[in-house]
Amino acid sequence: MELIKRIFKHSIISIIPVALLSAFIEWKRLPFSILVGGALGFANIKVLAWGVGGILGSYKATTKMVFFSMFRLFLLVIIIFLLVYFKLANIFGILAGLTVVFIILMVDGLKYSKDLPD
C-alpha cells in the first residue's frame, strides 16, 4: 500500500500542472479530460492492486478475481466511451492523463523495486 500512496501523491503533483498547462491549448475540455484520465488511471491501479492482492493471497486464481479483472477493464472502456460520446471529455486529454499516471507508476515502481532487499 505504500507504493500506491506514493504513486497517488506523485500523480497529483504531476497531473495538476499538466492540466493547467493544457488550458493554454484548449480551454474547454482538455484540462478536465486530463484530470479525468488521471483519476481513471489511478482508480484502475487501485483496483488492479486489490485484484492482484486477492490472486496472490490465495494459491490459485479464483474465478471471482478473474471475472472482476475482466469487469474492471470493461467498465473502464465503457466509462471512457460514454465520456467521449457525450462530449464531456476529450479522448486525447483522457489518454494524456492515463499516460501521466502510467509513467509515474513505472518510475515509482522501478524506484521501489530497487529499494527492496534481494
The model carries a pTM of 0.88
Nearest to 37 by CA among 106, 108, 102: 102
- Domains of the chain, by residue range, sit at 2-115
Q: Determine the number of helices (DSSP H) and then strands (DSSP E) in the chain.
A: 4, 0
- Residue 4 in contact with residue 47, Cβ under 8 Å? no
Question: At residue 115, does pLDDT exceed 90?
Answer: no
Question: At residue 102, does pLDDT exceed 90?
Answer: yes
Residue 68 — pLDDT band, cuts 50, 70, 90? confident
Which grid coordinates are listed for 15?
497531473
- DSSP string for 27-43: SSSHHHHHHHHHHHHHH
CA distance 12 to 4: 12
Note the pLDDT tens digit of each residue in 3-58: 999 999 999 999 999 999 999 987 789 999 999 999 999 999 998 888 777 767 66
Burial 16-39 (b: 16+ CB within 10 A, else e): eebbeebeeeeeebbbbbbbbbbb
What value does the mean pLDDT take over residues 47-72? 77
Which grid coordinates are listed for 1?
500500500
Q: Is 15 helix (H, G, I), strand (E, B) or coil?
A: helix
